[in-house]
Amino acid sequence: MASSQSGHADYCNPALYEATRRHVEQAVTLPPDSYRDEEFYRVERQRVWARSWVAVGYECQVPNAGDCITVEVADQPLFVLRDRSGGLRAFYNVCRHRGSRLLKQHGNCKVIRCPYHGWGYSLEGQLLGTPYFKGLDVPAGMAEKFAIADGVAEDFCKDDYPLLAVRCERWAGIIFVNLDDAAMPLAEWLGDLPQRYARHPLAELKLVRRRDYRIGANWKLIAENFMEYYHLPWGHPELCNISGFDNHWRYQGPGMYCGMCTSPLSDDPNTLTVDLPPFTELTYTESKSAYFVHLFPNISLWIFPHHFLTLLFRPSGPATTLEHVDMLVHPDVLTRPGIDESLDRIMKFWCFVNDQDVELVEGVQAGVAARAYRGGRLCYRFEEPIHRFQNMLIDLMT
């Protein structure tokens, strides 16, 4: 194995991935250290997470000027807010004075006020006020008390200390950030997804249910589990009643995603009844199909004809992941009689399916701890999306 000077395997060396780079029918899965090793996790954070378009939330979470959410990407504290002109902005969650965290949690603010010494920033990131600092903002008659005349910061100009901005873009109502100023635009990252889902009103949907998971598995195992249906007969017999094993198809185009679909969906009232109307602009085929898209690195989309489910996750260690299961629906359905019971019932079923997946991926995490395991083989019919995903990861790692 290629080693770095520090004694670790050199996880940026293309030679390490030669077996995974082969055509899918000959390929071996990623080196098992990718799922368990601290050093791999450290390098991956810099090479993958700090250079990708990472999903962090939804536009509907910040509908009004000043609404903000705190998020974390590649261990970096950030926040996203709605500015006064209705745009989205992302900033590092750090004050330009002595580095305090600015925002502790989601909320709404007219200005962003540092809790430490009160510096204030506009919603556009401009430094507005620095109380008592260099005599600025000192109430009349207080200058002597604060010894301003002989204690000033020299050559200090507020314009030199705006909030530190991060790239922030949106698609389908999802907010993405990218720590890398040189990364490709989000539109290029998405490939043909905007065209594929042009008739699904994803950007209009509202987040109506969320369940949080702490999963004892590497984030890549969660993504890989999502994008193959080989495990359905054994892992999800109930799901097969509505998303038939033999009704799955590849659904792939250009872009940083791995897709498949179920067409047509099956009706089985004993398994799940979705009493929501289908989106109005769909083609006949779309109104009978579900699309499953994992958008690299961290959001899995379940696009149904009448609702939208996502797995939004981030790694919290080499073998642990924090995940939200989120359900979004069109606001028009929220006034329907009995809607809360309907949403609860639908969400309960998807969490039941997700609970099954969590048990499976935690089982894989336990298994890949075995040093004797050197990686496995892939089957084109079911696991080509995993091969595609692993090659995306290698592209960024190397």
Residue ranges in contact with ligand FES by CB under 6 A = 95, 97-98, 100, 114, 116-119
Rounded Cα distance, 8 and 79, in Å: 34
Torsion over CA: 107, 108, 112, 113 (sign): negative
Q: Which helix (H) or strand (E) holds 210?
A: strand 206-215
Nearer residue to ligand FES within complex by CB, 66 or 118: 118
Strand ranges in 50-99 using DSSP code E only, listed in sequence order: 54-58, 67-73, 76-82, 88-92
Nearer residue to ligand FES within complex by CB, 98 or 336: 98
Nearer residue to ligand FES within complex by CB, 153 or 369: 153
Question: Which residue type occupies 173?
Answer: G
Q: What does DSSP assign to residue 150?
A: G
The angle formed by the CA atoms of residues 254, 257 and 262, to the nearest 5 degrees, is 100
Instruction: In angstroms, give the least distance from the CB of 98 to ligand FES.
Output: 4
Nearer residue to ligand FES within complex by CB, 117 or 374: 117
Nearer residue to ligand FES within complex by CB, 116 or 156: 116
Instruction: In angstroms, give the least distance from the CB of 78 to ligand FES.
Output: 17
Torsion over CA: 55, 61, 62, 66 (sign): negative
Separation in Å, CA 81 to CA 57, 96, 103, 295: 11, 18, 11, 23
Helix, strand, or coil (residue 128): strand
Instruction: In angstroms, give the least distance from the CB of 158 to ligand FES.
Output: 12
Instruction: In angstroms, give the least distance from the CB of 95 to ligand FES.
Output: 3
Instruction: In angstroms, give the least distance from the CB of 117 to ligand FES.
Output: 3
Nearer residue to ligand FES within complex by CB, 96 or 236: 96
Nearer residue to ligand FES within complex by CB, 116 or 249: 116
Burial 41-78 (b: 16+ CB within 10 A, else e): bebbeebbbbbbbbbbbbbbbbeebbbbbbbbbbebeb
Question: Which residues have a Cβ under 8 Å from the Cβ of 53 and sit 6 or more positions away?
Answer: 169, 176, 177, 178, 183, 186, 189, 256
Instruction: In angstroms, give the least distance from the CB of 102 to ligand FES.
Output: 7
Rounded Cα distance, 94 and 90, in Å: 12
Nearer residue to ligand FES within complex by CB, 132 or 349: 132
Instruction: In angstroms, give the least distance from the CB of 88 to ligand FES.
Output: 24
Q: What does DSSP assign to residue 293?
A: E
Instruction: In angstroms, give the least distance from the CB of 115 to ligand FES.
Output: 8
